[in-house]
Structure 1
Amino acid sequence: MRLAKALRRIIVLLLILLLIGAGYFGFKIRKNVQQVMTYEDLVKQEVEKNQIPEYKELVLAIIYTESKGRTNDLMQSSESAYGQQHMIHDPQESIEIGVSFLAQSIAKADEAGCDIWTAVQAYNFGLDYIDYIKERGGKNSVELAEEYSKNVLSPLLGNTTQKTYRYYRPQSVLYNGGFLYSNGGNMFYADLVKMNGQFIKWLK
C-alpha cells in the first residue's frame, strides 16, 4: 500500500511538472508570436510589393523561424544579399531582401511544378534545391532535403566527410535522434516554418 501511494504521488508530481513546463513553453511561444506580429504591417507592404500577398502569414512564420522577431536581421537575409552574415542591421532591409528572395523562390517553384514547401526549403538551401526536387517528383520531403543536405550542399560548402552536429528540435529528434550536417543548412526548415505558422494562427 505504501509503495502504491508513493507511486501515485510520483505520478501526480510528474504530471504537475509536465503541466508547468507546457504552460511555460506556451507562454514563451505566445510572447514570440506577439513580437513577430509587430512587423505585420511591414510584411504586408513587402508581400504586396512583390506580388505575393497571399503569403503574408508564411513570411511571418519565416520570421518566427529565423529570429522570433528579436534581431535586426529578422529574416536572416544577410548571406543572400551580401554573401556573409551580420551585414544587415535594419529590420526593414531584412524584410525587403527576405521577401524578395522568397518571391523568387516561389516563382521558380511554380514554374518547375514544385509545391510551396519546396520554395520554403529553398529559402534555407538556395534556389538550386528547386531543380533537385523537380527531378524527384516536385514535392518536398525531409528525406529529399536530407539527401540534398548530405550529398550536395554540405560537400559544396566544404563538408566532404559528412560531419554532423547535434540539433535538438522535436522534428530532428524524432527523425534521426537530433542532428544536422555541418554546412548543410537545415533539412527540417520547411517543417519548422509549417509548425511556427500554426503557432501564429493559434496565438496572434
Structure 2
Amino acid sequence: MSVATVKVATTIAQQAYKHRTKLFVISASFSMLLFAGAFFVFMGSDSQGGNSGTAKVNEKVEAWRPVVTQYAEKYGIPDYVDVILAIMMVESGGDSLDIMQSSESIGLPPNSIGDPTLSIDVGVKHLSNVVKDAKKKKLDFWTPVQSYNFGGGFNDYVSKHGKQYTFQLASDFAKKMANGVKTKYSNPVADFNGNYRYMYGNMYYVKLVQQYLNAPSGEMGNADASALGAKDYKELMTEVSKYDGWGYTWGGSNPNVGFDCSGLTQYAFGKIGYNLPRTAAEQYNTSIKVADPQPGDLIFFKGTNSSRPANSITHVGIYVDEKRMYDANNSGIGYSTWNQGYWKSHLAGFGRVIK
C-alpha cells in the first residue's frame, strides 16, 4: 500500500471516528428521520432553502434529506439537494453504508466508507467540486452530475465540445476512455441505444438520476395557467423531462428508439390521455389554433426542412412560456428559446390539444 493510500485511509478512519456518535444517533433515531423527511416533503420546503419536494425516492433515502441538506449547504450547492437524493437512489437505494458510493472519489475501493453520514459528506463535497468547476467553465446544470460518475475530466471534455451536456457527449467520452470496449447493459434506460455501455463509468448516469426527479416547477413554467389543467401539465412535463439531453432520432416515437419532434409530443401527450396524430403537420391540422398560448399548448414552425415546401409545418414543440418551449430538435431534447433567432423566423403559430 502506498504512503498516499495509507494517508487517505487514515484520514477516513479519523473522520469515521468523529462521525461515530453522529452515526449512532442517526441509526437510533431512524424512525424519527423518516418522520422528519416526510414532514419536509409535506411542507414543500426545507429549513435550508433547498429545492425540496422534486425527488421521487424511497423512504430510506428520503430519511436522509436533513443530512443531505446540511452538507449541500456546507459545500455551497443547496440547489442540488434533490439531485443528491436521486444520486443516492442510483448508487445504493439507501441499502449501503457507503450510501453515495463515494469511496472511489477519494481513491479508495468501492464501499470502503462504513458510515452513511461520512459517505454523504465525501459525496456531496465531490459533487460540489465538479459543480463549481462546471460553473467556472460556464457549463450547464447536468454536466457535473455526469462528472460525479465520470470524474472531472468530463467537465473538460464538455467545455471543449459546446459547453452543454448531451447523451452523445457522455457516450463519446466513455468510448474514448474505454478505447471503444463495450459491455452489455440491460437497464431500461439503455433500451433506446441497444442495451450496451462502454467500459468506463456509466454513460447513462444523467438518465439514471433524472428518472428519480420531477421537473422543477420553475423550469416548467406556470402550471396553473395551462389549458390542460395543472395536474396534466405537470405530468406532461415530468414525462418529457425524462429524456432531457437525449439526442434527436429521426422517426423516433418512443423511448426504445428515441424521439423526433412530433414523436416526443405524441408519446408524452399519450401518457396523459391525449391522442395526437404522428406528424407535426397532422398535429397542427387537428389542434385548435390560439393567439394567446398557455403552457402545454403546441407551438409550430414552418420551413425548417429544406426538402419540403417553405410553408409546410415541419416542427412542433410544447409551449412553456413567452420565451421557452420544450422540443426535440437537431441539438437534442430539452428547453429551447423560440422567441428569437432561427425559431422566431420560422414560427407558424400555436395549437391547443383537446381530448
So what's the TM-score if we normalise by structure 1? Answer: 0.75
Aligned match for 2:182, one of 164, 180, 191? 164
SS at match of 1:84: coil
Q: How does 1:85-164 map to 2 (within 5 A)?
A: 85-151=110-176, 153-155=177-179, 162-164=180-182
Per-residue deviation, residues 22-67 of structure 1 (Å, max 9, x unmatched):
xxxxxxxxx9521110111110110111121121111111111111
Q: Which runs of 5+ in 2 are unaligned?
A: 1-55, 218-233, 235-355
Instruction: Mark the structure with the bigger radius of gyration.
Output: 2
Q: 5 Å matches for 1:1-150?
A: 33-150=58-175
- Structure with the larger strand share: 2
Distance 1:32 1:51, change over 3 A: closer
Q: Which amino acid aligns with 2:187?
A: R
Whether 1:189 aligns to 2:205 is: yes
Q: Is the 8 Å Cα contact of residues 100 and 120 (structure 2) preserved in structure 1? A: yes
What TM-score do you get using the length of structure 2 for normalisation?
0.44
Cα deviation code 1:169-200 (max 9, x no counterpart): 222111x2101112x1111101111111239x
Say whether 1:179 aligns with 2:204. no
Look up the equivalent residue of 1:193 and give its one-letter code.
V
1:104, CA displacement in angstroms?
0.5
How far has the Cα of 1:163 moved from its partner?
Answer: 2.6
* Equivalent runs, 1:192-203 vs 2, <5 Å: 192-198=208-214
What value does the CA root-mean-square deviation take over the aligned residues? Answer: 2.1
Letter in 1 for 2:130: S
Q: Deviations over 1:105-127 (max 9, x none)?
A: 11000111111110100000000
Return the alpha-carbon distance in structure 2 between the equivalents of residues 150 and 141 of structure 1. Answer: 14
Is the 8 Å Cα contact of residues 32 and 69 (structure 1) preserved in structure 2?
Answer: no
Whose relative contact order is higher, 1 or 2, with alpha carbons under 8 Å and at least 6 apart?
Answer: 1
How many residues are matched? 163
| Percent of aligned pairs with the same amino acid | 35
User: Conserved in 2, the CA contact under 8 Å of 1:60 and 1:197?
Assistant: no
> Which stretches of structure 1, 4 residues or longer, exceed 3 Å deviation after superposition?
none
* Native 8 Å contact 2:130 2:147 kept in 1: yes
* Greater helix share, structure number: 1
Q: Which runs of 5+ in 1 are unaligned?
A: 1-30, 156-161
